[in-house]
């Protein structure tokens, strides 16, 4: 039964959260709390912190995550295909050849446009 | 009272309206995109719910939901690329400040 | 008709059993093994004093960590800072739902044999990224933020080759359920490590990168970024990040066992023993690599994923499809 | 009963975190509370017997799109965006419009007698989805790959720094 399957997952999630939160509760009860303002400064190798941590970052990070999202979406179609394609034989293979071929074109395009270069 | 179609429709209505509210009132383009994502999710709940309660003979609703997720990903990719581009050229991501077309 | 209260009680008991198993096999014994293997490879002894041969070292460490003060940096975003470790730890443990440990009579020992087990595994692996990104961001620390960004871009880059390997195996077995995949591997040479050897290699490399281990440990490159995204974390929350990473490493090893080495299958010995042997073989391999190789550079790492593993994975899927259908 | 309870818990998680998404002044918190929203919706899909859609919801939405959004926030807002005013002057008209729309939609949903076709959903849907993609939805399948290709090319062109 489907819902029973996922009941187990739900229980696993709840119990997992509880198990992970338990040591935090123990820490809250046991661990010392010494009010020393220096402790709570941002760590910057011992130097007094300067400037904002939230600075400007490289646009590369965005390009990589963009290509990732597009290819991750492709996976949506590959999973169902992978478990039924046997029944359809060559037809299913050619369908997937077209699908993966188009996406490989996309990968080559991204590659040639330099979206996959870090430097 | 058992779980029926109406429950899901109410949930998706509320979610859709929250998304629409974000679209109408937010200044940040990324927040507007998040509102769009909420609205698409609301539509997806409806698709899957109708699939189960109204037309359970085929899986067209679920397949369509998958297509919507695909399009949502494309929309996020292109939309956020536009945000990045606007930020680079105009130094802002607030939609009411992106008004160079006015002149 | 399903007896819901009974199912809930069974679910809770099973979950508790799996967590105990994890605590002993992965956390306690795994950490010790890591240190012992490291010591052995570097010609030193490793932990030796707590308990026989240092067996209780991890317990001692845990007790120590429980007494450590939890420090929140003043600049941090408190709510996110405190929940991020929980997300990472729980997402790392959730993968264990679909891993079959062995057989008991004619029943398979698994929390639940989900019909979409492989997809579930990939989904849980992808959730870890968000926790790491949130932790790095909430710390409001330059090292942590940079470490979080690096870690996230590394993990998303290697998620795709991982998915390609999973799909190739699903194609070979014709199912997404992990138990079904194990059952599709009959005999020694039926295990997918042979028929799906490229997928096996891709999976191992991607798994190593996915759990941020050497040679792909850039996010926490000590010499460059202090400790990466958990620079600001202390005590138990730091330990939760580590627990998540260890849980995920063992889950990856267990998944490799399930997908490629025939899971619990093997002659003479009971299934659980075979499963543990094979899993520890993979874990040992990962540790061996960790203590032997130097770190990759970020651009090399991304090139390896995008320009080698991903095209190779796609082509391998096509080859598998060709082989099966023609 | 149990299903209804599960539905209520999931709806509360979804809606509460959706409110945070919509209303938080801190844009990072907005983006991060998308995750409980999306996970709650995944749970709702499971109640609707759509486990494959639920798995994909977690994999794509929570694991990929949210990461993309977080990256863009980090690249554009210099952090939380708390320095800026996050809402425009349309809050009141927006509230009214949304309330009217909600009332209308509810009226339609409650006022319609939804027909019910014959048949039952298959217990496990991943296989049937694969079959649908290879038979009746084959066009969708192929066109999607073009959409993905175009989106990839377009987004790279837009986002890349002009030289």
Q: Please give, rounded to a whole number of angstroms, the shortest distance from the CA of C251 to a CA of chain D.
A: 17
A70 in B contact zone (CB under 8 Å): yes
Determine the average pLDDT of the residues in C22-43.
82
Q: What's the pLDDT at D42? A: 93
Domain boundaries, chain D: 1-82, 125-163
* The CATH classification of domain A2-113, taken from the options 3.30.9, 3.40.50, 1.20.58, 2.40.160: 1.20.58
Q: In this complex, do B57 and D73 lie within 8 Å of one another by their Cβ atoms? A: no
**Does residue C89 lie in a domain region?**
yes
Give the Cα separation of B6 and D81 in Å (integer): 38
Please state whether the peptide bond connecting residue C172 to the residue before it is cis, i.e. omega within 30 degrees of 0. Answer: no
* pLDDT level of residue C63 (50, 70, 90 thresholds): confident
CATH topology of domain B5-90: Helix Hairpins (1.10.287)
Beta strands, E only, chain B: none
C238-274 pLDDT, tens digit each:
888 888 888 888 899 999 999 998 888 878 788 888 8
**Does residue C17 lie in a domain region?**
no
Size of interface A-B (CB pairs under 8 A): 23
Q: What's the pLDDT at A47? A: 60
Give every CB contact of residue C119 below 8 A, 6+ residues apart in sequence: A79, C176, D52, D55, D56, D59, D126
Q: In this complex, do A93 and C89 lie within 8 Å of one another by their Cβ atoms? A: no
Give the Cα separation of C261 and C99 in Å (integer): 13
Give the Cα separation of A68 and C59 in Å (integer): 40
Q: In whole numbers, what is the pLDDT of chain C averaged over residues?
A: 83
List the structure tokens of A25.
């509760």
Contact present, B17 and D102 (Cβ < 8 Å): yes
We find that the CATH architecture of domain D1-82 is Up-down Bundle (1.20)
Q: Tell me which chain A residues have a C-beta less than 8 angstroms from the C-beta of C86.
A: 17, 20-21, 24
Domain boundaries, chain B: 5-90
Q: Please give, rounded to a whole number of angstroms, the shortest distance from the CA of B30 to a CA of chain A.
A: 14
Give the Cα separation of D4 and D22 in Å (integer): 26
Query: How does A79-96 read in b/e, with b if 16+ C-beta sit within 10 Å?
Result: bbbbbbbeebeeebbebb
Q: Please give, rounded to a whole number of angstroms, the shortest distance from the CA of A95 to a CA of chain D.
A: 8
Q: What's the pLDDT at D82? A: 62
Q: Tell me which chain C residues have a C-beta less than 8 angstroms from the C-beta of D67.
A: 129-130, 133, 152, 156
Q: In whole numbers, what is the pLDDT of chain B averaged over residues?
A: 87
Q: In this complex, do B71 and D154 lie within 8 Å of one another by their Cβ atoms? A: no
Q: Tell me which chain A residues have a C-beta less than 8 angstroms from the C-beta of B67.
A: none
Of A37-51, A103-117, C53-67, D31-45, minimum mean pLDDT range: A37-51
Q: In this complex, do C303 and A111 lie within 8 Å of one another by their Cβ atoms? A: no
* pTM, to two decimals: 0.91
What angle, rounded to 10 degrees, do the helices at C29-41 and C57-66 form? 120
Q: In this complex, do B52 and D49 lie within 8 Å of one another by their Cβ atoms? A: yes
Q: Tell me which chain D residues have a C-beta less than 8 angstroms from the C-beta of C92.
A: none
Of B40-44, B65-69, C222-226, D23-27, minimum mean pLDDT range: C222-226
* C302 SS3 class: helix
Of A83-97, C221-235, D49-63, D128-142, minimum mean pLDDT range: C221-235
For residue C107, what is the enclosing H or E element? strand C107-109
Query: How does C242-253 read in b/e, with b if 16+ C-beta sit within 10 Å?
Result: bbbbbbbbbbbb
Report ipTM for this prediction: 0.90
Q: In angstroms, what CA-CA distances link C206 with B31, C153, C286?
A: 33, 13, 12
List the structure tokens of A103.
């996406």
A16-72 pLDDT, tens digit each:
888 888 888 888 887 777 777 766 666 666 566 655 555 556 677 888 888 899 899
Q: CA nearest A30 in C: which residue?
A: C67
Q: In angstroms, what CA-CA distances link A105 with A99, A101, B14, B33?
A: 10, 6, 41, 28
Q: Please give, rounded to a whole number of angstroms, the shortest distance from the CA of C92 to a CA of chain A.
A: 10
User: Is D163 a residue whose pLDDT tops 50?
Assistant: no
Residue C6 buriedness (CB in 10 A; 0-12 / 13-18 / 19+):
exposed
Q: What torsion, rounded to 10 degrees, do the Cα atoms C188, C194, C196, C200 define? A: 100
* pLDDT level of residue C187 (50, 70, 90 thresholds): confident
- C-alpha gyration radius of chain C: 20
- Provide the residue range defining the domain that includes C285: 71-325
Residue B64: count other Cβ atoms within 10 Å of its Cβ: 18
Give every CB contact of residue D105 below 8 A, 6+ residues apart in sequence: B13, B16, B17
Q: In whole numbers, what is the pLDDT of chain D averaged over residues?
A: 85
Chain C, window 6-65: residues with a beta carbon less than 8 angstroms from a chain A beta carbon: 7-8, 11-12, 14-16, 18-19, 65
User: Is C136 a residue whose pLDDT tops 50?
Assistant: yes
User: D160: closest CA among A105, B95, A66?
Assistant: A66
- Sign (positive/negative) of CA torsion D86, D89, D90, D96? positive
φ, ψ of residue C264 in degrees (nearest 5): -80, 0
* pLDDT level of residue C168 (50, 70, 90 thresholds): very high
Q: In this complex, do D78 and A85 lie within 8 Å of one another by their Cβ atoms? A: no
**Does residue C305 lie in a domain region?**
yes
Chain A, window 42-61: residues with a beta carbon less than 8 angstroms from a chain B beta carbon: 59
Q: What's the pLDDT at C241? A: 81
**Does residue C172 lie in a domain region?**
yes
**Does residue C38 lie in a domain region?**
no
Q: What torsion, rounded to 10 degrees, do the Cα atoms D132, D136, D142, D146 define? A: -100
């Amino acid at each position: 039964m489907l819902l029973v399957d996922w009941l187990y997952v739900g229980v696993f999630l709840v119990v997992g959260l509880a198990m992970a939160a338990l040591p935090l509760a123990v820490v809250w009860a046991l661990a010392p709390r010494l009010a020393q303002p220096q402790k709570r400064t941002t760590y910057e190798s011992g130097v007094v912190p300067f400037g904002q941590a939230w600075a400007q970052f490289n646009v590369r990070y965005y390009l990589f995550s963009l290509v990732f999202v597009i290819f991750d979406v492709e996976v949506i179609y590959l999973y169902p295909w992978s478990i039924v394609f046997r029944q359809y034989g060559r037809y299913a293979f050619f369908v997937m050849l077209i699908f993966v071929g188009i996406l490989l074109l996309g990968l080559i395009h991204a590659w040639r446009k330099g979206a996959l270069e870090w430097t | 009272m058992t779980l029926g179609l109406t429950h899901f429709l109410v949930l998706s209505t509320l979610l859709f309206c929250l998304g629409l509210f974000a679209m109408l009132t937010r200044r940040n383009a990324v927040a507007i995109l998040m509102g769009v994502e909420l609205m698409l999710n609301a539509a997806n709940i409806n698709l899957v719910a109708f699939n189960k309660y109204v037309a359970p003979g085929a899986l067209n609703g679920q397949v369509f939901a998958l297509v919507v997720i695909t399009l949502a990903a494309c929309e996020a990719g292109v939309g956020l690329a536009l945000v990045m581009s606007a930020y680079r050229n105009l130094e802002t991501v607030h939609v009411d400040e992106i008004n160079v077309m006015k002149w | 008709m399903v007896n819901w209260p009974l199912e809930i009680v069974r679910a809770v008991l099973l979950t508790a059993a799996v967590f105990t198993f994890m605590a002993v096999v992965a956390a306690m014994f795994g950490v010790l093994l890591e240190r012992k293997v490291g010591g052995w490879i570097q010609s030193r002894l490793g932990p030796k004093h707590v308990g026989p041969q240092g067996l209780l070292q991890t317990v001692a460490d845990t007790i120590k960590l429980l007494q450590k003060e939890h420090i929140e940096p003043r600049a941090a975003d408190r709510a996110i800072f405190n929940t991020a470790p929980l997300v990472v730890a729980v997402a790392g443990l959730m993968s264990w739902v679909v891993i079959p440990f062995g057989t008991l009579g004619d029943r398979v020992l698994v929390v639940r044999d989900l019909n979409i087990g492989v997809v579930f595994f990939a989904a849980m692996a992808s959730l870890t990224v968000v926790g790491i990104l949130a932790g790095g961001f909430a710390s409001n620390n330059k090292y942590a933020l940079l470490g979080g960004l690096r870690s996230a871009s590394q993990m998303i880059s290697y998620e795709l080759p991982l998915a390609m390997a999973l799909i190739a195996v699903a194609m070979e077995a014709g199912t997404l359920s992990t138990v079904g995949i194990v059952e599709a591997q009959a005999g020694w040479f039926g295990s997918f490590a042979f028929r799906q050897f490229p997928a096996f290699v891709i999976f191992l490399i991607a798994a190593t990168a996915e759990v941020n281990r050497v040679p792909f440990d850039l996010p926490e490159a000590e010499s460059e970024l202090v400790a990466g995204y958990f620079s600001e974390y202390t005590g138990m929350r730091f330990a939760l990040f580590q627990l998540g990473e260890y849980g995920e490493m063992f889950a990856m090893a267990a998944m490799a066992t399930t997908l490629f080495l025939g899971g619990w299958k093997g002659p003479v010995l009971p299934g659980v023993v075979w499963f543990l042997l094979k899993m520890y073989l993979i874990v040992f391999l990962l540790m061996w690599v960790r203590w032997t190789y130097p770190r990759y550079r970020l651009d090399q790492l991304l090139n390896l994923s995008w320009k080698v593993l991903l095209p190779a994975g796609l082509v391998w899927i096509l080859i598998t499809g060709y082989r099966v259908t023609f | 009963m149990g299903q209804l309870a599960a539905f209520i818990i999931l709806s509360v998680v979804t809606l509460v975190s959706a409110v945070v998404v919509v209303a938080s002044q801190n844009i990072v918190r907005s983006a991060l509370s998308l995750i409980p929203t999306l996970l709650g919706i995944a749970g709702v899909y499971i109640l609707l017997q759509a486990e494959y859609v639920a798995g994909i919801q977690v994999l794509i939405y929570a694991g990929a799109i949210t990461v993309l959004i977080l990256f863009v926030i980090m690249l554009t807002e210099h952090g939380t965006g708390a320095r800026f005013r996050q809402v425009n002057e349309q809050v009141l008209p927006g509230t009214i419009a949304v309330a009217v729309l909600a009332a209308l939609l509810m009226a339609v949903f409650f006022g319609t007698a939804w027909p019910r076709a014959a048949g039952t959903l298959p217990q496990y849907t991943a296989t049937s989805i694969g079959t649908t993609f290879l038979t009746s939805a084959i066009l969708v399948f192929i066109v999607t790959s073009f959409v993905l290709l175009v989106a990839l090319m377009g987004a790279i062109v837009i986002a890349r720094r002009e030289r």
